[in-house]
Amino acid sequence: MKQNGIRKKIFDKLRAKNHIEKTRVNSKNKLKIVISSNNQHKIKEYKEIFNDYPNIEIMSLNDANINVDPEENGKTFKENSLIKAKAVAELTNNLVIADDSGLEIDALDGFPGIYSSRFMSDHTYEEKFLAIFDMLKDKNNRKAQFHCVITLVNLEAGPLFFEGVVRGEIAKTSNGLNGFGYDPIFIPEGYKKSFADLSEDEKNAISHRGIASKSLLEFLKEHKYI
């Protein structure tokens, strides 16, 4: 029994090493990365962020013929990101990235946080904005941040995590037609315009998802996957 356990550990290590080496070889052509999300706005944003890397192919779940919608029952962005990544990793040999992200408002103790997309889920975002404005009407502090954690799986033996945070404040009115989600009410530090008023390139250069993605890309370049 003990010998069988030792053999299994050796086999698992060899299999993980072989998978990593195959990924490095394949990355000389195109590195396929499946985005574990059914949010088309998010997938579009990832394609824009990775657009300068022709040796990376970003795939949606639909592109990969995967139909899954895991329950996000984690207590942190990291936990939810891992749940989504693992659910898709079981259905493909390609690399998988998933992120969980949200708006954290200082005066509301980080609310809505991990519940950002689920908060008033049966209402429009304009209605969500009005609710948040009402919560902040007696608050002097309108500081907030967008927070993102990306999980990468099917590469190393264990999952890898990349984090991005952008500080800013909640506007008093919604502005802008670009972006999605809470972008129209978030003004990043150093700017007088909301995320939704910025161009795609401007937003991706400073956003929480852009920052986390930059760390991911630096890892892939450092380890010669791209």
Catalytic (active site) residue 122: no
Q: Which two structure tokens, joined as six digits, stand for 11?
A: 């086999």
- Which of 52, 63, 99, 100 is catalytic? The answer is 100
**Residues carrying an active site annotation:** 100
